[in-house]
Every structure is written in structure tokens, then in C-alpha cells.
């Protein structure tokens, strides 16, 4: 789905379920990781997680759009637009929006790029980011560490 199609869908849902026009921007934000969407109170724009749409389809995206439009319209009407507010909960119930979005699957592999080796006992530590080994000691024997750069080692991400 393209940005223009998302914008049109949000405008249609706003008119159909709220009876009010959506006058701001709706975009996909690739940086969203743990949420399906976001309402920006200062600019009044809406951002959506493209991965939620790709993973769960149009039905889930419509639910997320309704949720964010509840924030949008209640905020513009100066009513309770936060999750804790009664007006927000009633708006969700009235429009059929979801309270929480389904979790998005995370990437399963993260590459290790660096390996620290203890000079005393040989214990190895894998790291994603470069650190200064002079500031650290071995957790097993308190020996000094040496940094090696590695390329192909990966680990499974548990969460």
C-alpha cells in the first residue's frame, strides 16, 4: 500500500465512522517498532506501522486507523483523547476500533560484529557495538580483554 492510498483510506474512514473530515497527513513510519500507529499532538498527523499491515492485512490496519482517529478527533474537539479517558474508551467502542494492536514480529537475527577475548582465561564475549576494552574486565577472572572484529556470527533474538 502506498502513502497516497493510506491517506485516502484514513480520510474515508474518518468520514464514514466519525462524520468529520481528516485534514492532516497520514503516513507509514518505518521506525515504529512496538506500536501499530501514533497520533502526533503538535502537528495532528498520524503515523502507522507498515509491518502491521504487511503481517495482518487491511482489517488490522483499519482497526488501528480507527484507534488513531479517536485520538485525533477527540483532541481537536478538546475532549479526553488519552487512553485513560472515558471519552476515548467510548469513542473506541462506538467506532469499533481496537484498544491494542497485535504485536509485530521482530527480526530474528542480529549480527555480532565484535568479539572480546580474555587474555588470561580465554573467555569470549560477543558484542554488536564497538566498545573500548580498556574500560572492561573479564567477568570470570578479572583479566584484560582484547577486541577482535568478526563478520558472520549471528545470534537468535529471543524477543
Beta pairing class for 114-118 and 124-127: antiparallel
* CA dist., res. 144 & res. 133, Å (int): 8
Is there a catalytic annotation at residue 68? yes
Alpha-carbon separation of residue 128 from 113, 114, 133, 153 (angstroms): 5, 6, 14, 10
Torsion of CA 100, 29, 7, 50, to 10 degrees: -60
Given 68, 78, 87, 109, the catalytic residue = 68
Record the cell numbers describing residue 76, joined without a space: 481537536
**Contact between residue 125 and residue 110 where contact means Cβ atoms under 8 Å apart:** no
Catalytic center residues: 68
Amino acid at each position: 500500500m502506498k502513502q497516497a492510498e493510506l491517506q485516502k483510506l484514513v480520510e474515508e474512514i474518518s468520514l464514514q465512522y466519525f462524520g468529520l473530515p481528516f485534514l492532516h497527513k497520514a503516513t507509514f513510519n518505518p521506525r515504529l517498532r512496538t506500536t501499530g500507529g501514533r497520533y502526533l499532538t503538535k502537528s495532528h498527523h498520524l503515523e502507522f506501522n507498515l509491518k502491521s499491515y504487511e503481517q495482518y492485512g487491511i482489517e488490522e490496519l483499519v482497526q488501528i486507523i480507527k484507534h488513531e482517529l479517536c485520538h485525533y478527533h477527540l483532541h481537536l474537539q478538546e475532549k479526553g483523547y488519552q487512553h485513560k479517558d472515558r471519552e476515548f474508551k467510548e469513542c473506541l467502542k462506538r467506532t469499533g476500533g481496537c484498544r491494542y494492536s497485535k504485536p509485530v514480529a521482530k527480526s530474528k537475527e542480529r549480527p555480532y560484529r565484535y568479539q572480546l577475548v580474555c587474555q588470561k582465561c580465554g573467555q569470549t564475549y560477543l558484542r554488536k557495538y564497538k566498545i573500548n576494552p580498556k574500560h572492561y574486565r573479564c567477568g570470570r577472572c578479572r583479566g584484560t580483554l582484547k577486541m577482535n572484529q568478526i563478520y558472520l556470527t549471528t545470534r537468535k533474538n529471543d524477543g
